[in-house]
Amino acid sequence: MIRTRGKSRGAVECTLASFVDAIEHAFYAEQIAKENGLLQKLDPRLKILAILPLIVIAALARRLSVIAALFVFALVLAMLSKVPLSTLAKRVWLGVLAFTGIISFPALFLTPGRVVFSLPLVGWIVTEQGLRAAAYLILRAETAATFSVLFVLCTPWNKVLKALRVLRVPLVLVVILGMTYRYIFLLLRNAHDMFTSRRSRMVGRLDGRQQRRAATASAGVLMSKTMQLSADVYLAMRSRGFQGEVYVLDDFRTAWFDWAILGLFTMVAAAALWWGR
Amino acid sequence: MHIPDGYLSPSTCAVLYGIAIPFWYGAFARVKRLLNTRLVPLLAVASAFCFVIMMFNVPLPGGTTGHAVGVGAAAVVLGPWASMLSVSIALLIQAIFFGDGGITTFGANCFNMAIAGSLVAHFVYRAIAGRSAIPSSRRVAAAALAGYAAINVSALLTACELGIQPLFFKDASGTPLYAPYALHIAIPAMMLGHLTFAGMAELFVSGGVVAYLQKTNPALLGERPSVTSEAQAHFPAGGGWKATRPLWIRVALLMLLTPIGILAAGTAWGEWGARDFSDPQMRQQITAASGNLAPPSAQPEGLARLSSLWAAPFPQYAPPFVRHPAFGYVMSAMFGTGLILGAFLLLAWITAGGRPSDASQASP
């Protein structure tokens, strides 16, 4: 939540970079979803039923070896789904490792247990339990994040949302999620334009107080635009005959291949659940 | 503050999903009743706003920048119910599409940020802003403090959820299976950053948005959010027994289920009585639950002294005049629920200036 930046990048540039990152991430996911890989071929509803248990079992497992095996399974899935491992490393593993690594590092010294070694100069004691605690946290977070990202990268977003109905998510929520996702990009573009126009008018550097005022005023403008937009969208929907009912076209078809893959995933999940008790 | 997968045990996640679902259901029913056909576009666009606002970098004193969650601004403009739904949807999209926050921990993240954050922001804003005029600087201060309080309460809840993991979830060798830090480490570590930088980011965004809207779009800061008030005029709120009946039935069911607590073995960690320190069986339980650290051989002096200050009317959820423990639990649940309802009715009466409250006047 906190980012310390060098003086060379102000808040405006950082915010612009965040917007561009989000848009780039979404476009990249759409590209991967069009590949002809294993997960891309799978029916989205069965994909949810296949991957969600693996995420839960990665969180449930009480053996490091089982979590590591699930991680290897995720790697195999990535390769069969033509998701470059370098992409996973850059977009998932390094980020999770940096975040979770920093969090779990003190656990090496703070967790009581059998002493493994002590750091030479400071004399801090690393315990076996501390090492295992850090390994649990990092492996679990990496494995769950890899499965989640594989699911999202290999499924077009509109199909992800429709597939959520298999989890009994109410239809109206599916429609709201779909519209939210679409309007995120509109608001991102609006916000991006606001910040770009602000930057184009800036000469020299703004001090912290002025930057804060600019950022909060932009948030206020965006809030006003959001409310206006919601009223406009509502009127547009009403003018097209919207009376509160929502419909989603379900064009999913399952084949023997989908069920065979679901069976395979279920067997992996059951084995991991059994061995990871 | 977005807890990733693997930091919380599945049972903690399940409990927090269980807590969040009634709030989502209640908020959805309430907002739907107020907005009717406007529900879909308002929630969709407001959720998109919450998502985008989370990406704003706010410059902070000291040369750093921070991200705000935006829950303060959302609660002030949309009201607590629409705010908790919008922030939840934004968090879901963050978790699914952008990998920020886990899938299994989604309920926990929503409970901390969307639900608790929205309610705290709403109540702090209403308490401080009072009946001040829309352009009043008191409203800016109220919004700023509402955002600050909301983010810190969310951080405290997150720290507590992470901090209880090593107490309950360890493998045979005593290794923590999930977040490894106990409460005495998790709470200061989490709160230090949020009481300072992250809290300030939320404070500036909430206060700044309200200050900007005061000048440009004061209608959004009305007693009732402008978007909902128009719909409310067309679709008046149907309060009373009918609207709240499902909630009352659930509360009654939960009260009847309270005797399940009797089935739990042992005593909750840290909830020992002074006498437990001299009971050999309890000492064994305390040692086992505290990572094999034996408790002090004698009663802690402060505990013994302070524990006699207040004698609970229903000790151990067992009123002295009730013999059957299950019935005692139900009685205690009814008494506790009655006290909470009484406190909220009193609070509502005080905030309404001594006038009887009117459901149709309540802010959505």
Question: How far away is chain A from the Cα of B194, in angstroms, using its nearest Cα?
Answer: 9
**What torsion, rounded to 10 degrees, do the Cα atoms A27, A29, A34, A39 define?**
-170
- Terminal Cα distance for chain B, rounded: 27
- On the CB side of A266, CA atoms within 13 Å amount to 8
CA distances to A133, A209, B275, B288 from B298, rounded to whole Å, are 33, 57, 10, 18
pLDDT at B300: 58
Pairwise CA distance, residues B205 & B69, whole Å: 9
Write the pLDDT tens digit of every residue in A210-223: 778 888 888 888 88
B8, B43, B51 member nearest A184 (Cβ): B51
Pairwise CA distance, residues B263 & B326, whole Å: 10
A15, A133, A216 member nearest B209 (Cβ): A216
- Identity of the amino acid at A250: D
CB interface of B with A, residues 47-76, below 8 Å: 47-49, 51-53, 55-61, 63-67, 70, 73
A19, A180, A220 member nearest B89 (Cβ): A180
Burial class of residue A120 in the structure, from the number of CB atoms within 10 Å of its CB (0-12 exposed, 13-18 middle, 19+ buried): exposed
CB-CB neighbors (< 8 A) of B56 in chain A? 15, 18, 191, 215, 218-219
- Identity of the amino acid at B127: A
Q: Quick one: tokens of B75?
A: 């609660």
- On the CB side of A104, CA atoms within 13 Å amount to 26
CB-CB neighbors (< 8 A) of A180 in chain B? 43-45, 47-48, 51, 89-90, 93
Pairwise CA distance, residues A230 & B44, whole Å: 8
Question: How far away is chain B from the Cα of A141, in angstroms, using its nearest Cα?
Answer: 5
Report the SS3 class of residue B354: coil
pLDDT at A106: 81
- On the CB side of B161, CA atoms within 13 Å amount to 30
- Closest Cα in chain B to A131: B175
CB-CB neighbors (< 8 A) of A5 in chain B? 64-65
Q: Quick one: tokens of B107?
A: 């309920």
Q: Give bridge partners of residue A127 from the DSSP assignment.
A: A115
Q: Give bridge partners of residue B58 from the DSSP assignment.
A: B66
Q: Quick one: tokens of B33?
A: 């009743």
CB interface of B with A, residues 302-361, below 8 Å: none
pLDDT at B122: 92
pLDDT at A242: 78
CA distances to B4, B120, B220 from B213, rounded to whole Å, are 35, 21, 7
Given an 8 Å threshold on Cβ–Cβ distance, is A191 in contact with B89? no
For chain B, what percent of residues have pLDDT higher than 70? 60
The answer to whether A218 contacts chain B (CB < 8 Å) is yes
Mean pLDDT of A183-187: 85
CB interface of A with B, residues 14-53, below 8 Å: 14-15, 18-19, 22, 25-26, 29, 52
Q: Give bridge partners of residue B59 from the DSSP assignment.
A: B65
Mean pLDDT of A167-183: 81
Pairwise CA distance, residues A255 & A237, whole Å: 36
pLDDT at B245: 60
CB-CB neighbors (< 8 A) of A148 in chain B? 5, 95-96, 99, 102-103
Q: Tokens 């990572």 sit at which residue? A: B291
CB-CB neighbors (< 8 A) of B179 in chain A? 103, 137
Contacts of B274 (CB under 8 A, 6+ apart): B299, B300, B303, B304, B307
- On whether the pTM is more than 0.90, the answer is no
Q: Tokens 């409970």 sit at which residue? A: B111
Given an 8 Å threshold on Cβ–Cβ distance, is A238 in contact with B36? no
Pairwise CA distance, residues B127 & B76, whole Å: 12
Element (H, E) at B227: helix B226-234
Question: How far away is chain A from the Cα of B180, in angstroms, using its nearest Cα?
Answer: 6
CA distances to A19, B75, B97, B298 from A184, rounded to whole Å, are 10, 19, 12, 61
Write the pLDDT tens digit of every residue in A261-272: 888 988 988 998
Interface-testing mutation among A2, A115, A248, with chain B (most B C-beta atoms within 10 A): A2
pLDDT at A72: 94
Write the pLDDT tens digit of every residue in B107-148: 999 999 999 999 999 999 999 988 888 888 899 999 999 999
Higher-pLDDT residue of B314, A219: A219
Report the SS3 class of residue B24: helix
A92, A177, A237 member nearest B99 (Cβ): A92
Given an 8 Å threshold on Cβ–Cβ distance, is A110 in contact with B180? yes
Given an 8 Å threshold on Cβ–Cβ distance, is A2 in contact with B64? yes
Higher-pLDDT residue of B178, A25: B178
Element (H, E) at B344: helix B325-351
Q: Is 70 exceeded by the pLDDT of residue A190?
A: yes
DSSP A207-267: -HHHHHHHHHHHHHHHHHHHHHHHHHHHHHHHHTT--S-----------HHHHHHHHHHHH
Higher-pLDDT residue of B323, A256: A256
B53, B97, B180 member nearest A152 (Cβ): B97
Question: How far away is chain B from the Cα of A272, in angstroms, using its nearest Cα?
Answer: 15
Contacts by B16-19 with C-beta closer than 8 Å and gap 24+?
B16/B105, B16/B107, B16/B108, B16/B111, B16/B161, B17/B106, B17/B107, B18/B107, B19/B107, B19/B111
CB-CB neighbors (< 8 A) of B40 in chain A? 172, 175-176, 179, 237, 246
